[in-house]
Structure 1
Amino acid sequence: MQSKPTTIKEIARILNISPSSVSRGLHDHPSIGAVTREKIKQLAKSLNYEPNNAAILFQKGKTYTIGVILPELSEHFFSTAISAIEDEALKKNYTVIFAQSHDNYEQEVKLVEKMKNQRVDGLLVSISKDTSKFDHFEKLNSFNIPVVFFDRIPPFKNVHYVACSLESATVKAVNYLLKKGHRSIGMINGPNTLYASDERKDGYMQAITFNRLKVDPSLIINCDLTEQGTIEAANQFLNHKRRPTAIVAFNDYVALFLIKYFKKLNVIDEFDVVSYANLPIISYLDHTPVASVEQYPYLQGQKAANILLDLINSPNAETQAYYNTIVESDLIINNVEE
């Protein structure tokens, strides 16, 4: 049966000195003589003493833990971002706790509460597709827990965030399709609750207008990002009076749902598809999006983690201006020479 862990008080009793002297000796405090320090360390080693990290962290007012809440860990974008977050946290001796909202607002609210109860020092968040209220994040202010959003961010500036330039990315995507000769271009957008959906829509309309074409709002269809939602949007395009010859899909997963459905109907060769995220898997498919927007998830995760760690360790975090960091995107052309 394993004995109880050795404590500082036990070492102090054996050496007939005060517990505070033992603590200072273990930390090489100059007020403790070299001989006494060596006795303390030797005894601590022989008794397999290990410091009580929980108590030490409590005294410092930190847990050296950051929380991360994201929609789906299984998505390549988020798993790549997590690698960056872990890498940056490790450099500063921080532990990372991950949780998934599964794109559900109620789940996200519960997870924020759990992270607070775990006494995380800060929180990194990519919001769910259903999130339209942000009270659960604002409540963290009273607990001095800073929050940095990344990728999927709230639709306002008075928060810390890192995101990709989706509006300019969409302009690039639509311009590429126009350059290929398409004049009727559809868009399968995400839910209206997502700020990223607005950015895509704005970029789409900007590119169409700049090229002196008429914007047809019925060619922009919002969906819930599921396979069934994608199929419903696809059917609307197939039956549209201005049936598009190219479609901009919200992300690579929506693009894959779309391509799968068009292959089933044997109409895949009638459409060019452009998507976002540039998943590595698309390069192995026999039918791929003609182009995909690279959103640099590792860089987003890296920047978001560093901002959060700066906020945690800054004595004047509350008076600092908000970090609004934009990562420039690139349009990656698949199997096509520009």
Structure 2
Amino acid sequence: MTGKPATIKEIAKILNVSVSTVSRALHKHPTIGITTQLKVQALADKLGYEPNQNAISFQKGKTYNIGVIIPELSEAFFSAAISAIEDIAYKRNYTVLIAQSHDDEEKEIQLVEKMKNSRVDGLLISVAKTTSGFTHFDMLKRFNIPVVFFDRIPPLKNIHYVACNMETGSTEAVNYLLQKGHRSIGMINGPATLAASGERKEGYIKAMTKNRLKFDPSLIVSCNLTEQGTQAALDNLLAHKRRPTAIVTFNDYVSLYAIKHARNLKIDLDKDLQFVSYANLPLINYMDYAPVASVEQFPYLQGQKAADILLDLLSRKVQSTDEVQAYYNVMVESQLVENKIRNRG
């Protein structure tokens, strides 16, 4: 014994049969008698033979690996989505390869290339906040690798995606603040490159106009989702001639940064300024001062639906480029969740 895995050729040589006979016996082919099958299997077990997965994948045209590219695994939203993807993949005998773009377009491009070179059968992607070009996804089409986008969706036509309805979520958030008596409501939005930023803005505008309030575009300020960017955006709104008494923030992290900065500025977060955010992440429960409400985006459900779509595409395996393909466009409805925990600061 050399310590190396036994091969079909070695089994065939010991039993003095052909390689094809051993291969068929291991696969319980009906043309191979039961006695031969038992002899082959017994020797394979004794020698510690294991099937060559690369050869099997080549033969079947599948690796049973799917790739997932997300901005940050450390974010509770994406870790919840990954849990769902892994749960679905496991049930269908697929392995999940996970990579992080760290919200960098160049790294995302490199990761797409690496996933392609690793011969993944399909890919799930939530795009980076800096991604402004999308030609790297065209390469996947040329290699017949299906892609399903989730949460952060690129502004492209003819794509498969799962996303949360941020427009209705924004409308709910603004209506909630209006009902609490606020009339000057600001928004700290995300980068213009993210489709979700546009959806949040549209929901904000609809809520204001539906309630017969004048829309002031200067009350919507974009940021790059960093703490420094959030601080600058908040300073901008606080210097506004119609200083907001409430602000809708792009997500719970931006809300956390804004609340921290507001406290440093000695702003009374019970009387003078309130926040509503998105995602409804667990971190809200551990904040001394939390947003009064947050829009639930159901990350596990998004991950689940995205994985189901990708595995369905792989099972159908559409080969003809001439065939008109229907695209999955799934929108998960958001839900405004009021924070019942009183401020502890």
Distance in 2 (alpha carbons) for counterparts of 1:15 and 1:268: 84
For 1:157-206, what per-residue CA distance to the aligned partner results, in whole angstroms no more than 9, with x for missing partners? Answer: 41000000000000000000000010000000001111000000000000
**d(CA) in 1 for partners of 2:93, 2:65:** 9
Is 1:288–2:293 an aligned residue pair? no
Match status 1:329 vs 2:331: no
- Aligned position for 1:303: 305
- Deviation of 1:46 after TM superposition, in Å, equals 1.1
CA distance in 1, matches of 2:253, 2:317: 42
**What RMSD over aligned residues (CA atoms) do the two structures have, in Å?**
1.3
Distance in 2 of aligned mates of 1:279 and 1:4: 49
Secondary structure at 2:288 match in 1: coil
**3-state secondary structure, aligned to 2:6:** coil
- Opposite residue 276 of structure 1, the aligned amino acid is Y
Q: TM-score if structure 1 supplies the norm length? A: 0.97
User: What's the CA shift for 1:268?
Assistant: 3.7
For 1:101 and 1:281, the matched residues in 2 are separated by 23
2: CA distance, partners of 1:4 / 1:212:
76
- The answer to whether the 8 Å contact 1:121/1:145 transfers is yes
SS in 2 for 1:17: coil
Alpha-carbon distance in structure 2 between the residues aligned to 1:170 and 1:80: 22
Please say which of residues 34-43 and 242-251 is displaced more in the overlay: 34-43
In the alignment, is residue 273 of structure 1 matched against residue 275 of structure 2?
yes
Counterpart check, 1:156 vs 2:161: no
- The count of aligned residue pairs is 337
The alpha carbon displacement at 1:336 in A equals 7.5
> Structure 2 matches for 1:57-76, cutoff 5 A?
57-76=57-76
Q: Does the CA-based 8 Å contact 2:250-2:277 persist in structure 1?
A: yes
What's the counterpart of residue 78 of structure 2?
A: 78
Determine the structure 2 residue equivalent to 1:238.
Answer: 238
Query: 1:215 matched to which residue of 2?
Result: 215
The superposition leaves residues 215-259 of structure 1 with CA deviations (integer Å, 9 ceiling, x where unpaired) of 000000000000000000111111110000000000000000000
CA distance, structure 2, for counterparts of residue 178 and residue 45 of structure 1: 71
Q: Deviations over 1:266-325 (max 9, x none)?
A: 104211100000011212222110000000000000000010011111133764300000
Q: Matches of 2:100 and 2:268 in 1, distance apart?
A: 34
TM-score with structure 2 length normalisation?
Answer: 0.95
Do the aligned residues in 1 keep the contact of 2:188 with 2:249 (CA within 8 Å)?
yes
Q: For each residue in 1:29-80, what CA deviation from the matched residue of structure 2 results, as whole angstroms up to 9, or x when unmatched?
A: 1100011111111111111111111111111111100000010110000000
Structure 1 Cα separation of the partners of residues 341 and 179 of structure 2: 13
Q: Does 1:88 align with 2:88?
A: yes
8 Å contact from structure 1 (residues 69, 100) kept in 2 = yes
**1:259–1:268 contact (8 Å) kept in structure 2:** no
For residues 115 and 107 of structure 1, the distance between their equivalents in structure 2, rounded to whole angstroms, comes to 12
Contact 2:122 2:145 (C-alpha < 8 Å) held by counterparts: yes
Distance 2:55 2:327 in 1: 33
Give the equivalent residue in structure 1 for 2:193: 193
Give 5+ residue unaligned stretches, structure 1.
Answer: none
Contact 2:126 2:149 in 1 (8 A): yes
Instruction: Give the distance between the partners of 1:17 and 1:268, measured in 2 at CA.
Output: 85
Check the 8 A contact 2:162/2:302 in 1, yes or no: yes
Supply the AA of the counterpart residue of 1:76: A
1 CA distance for matches of 2:125 and 2:47?
Answer: 43
SS, match of residue 68 in structure 2: strand
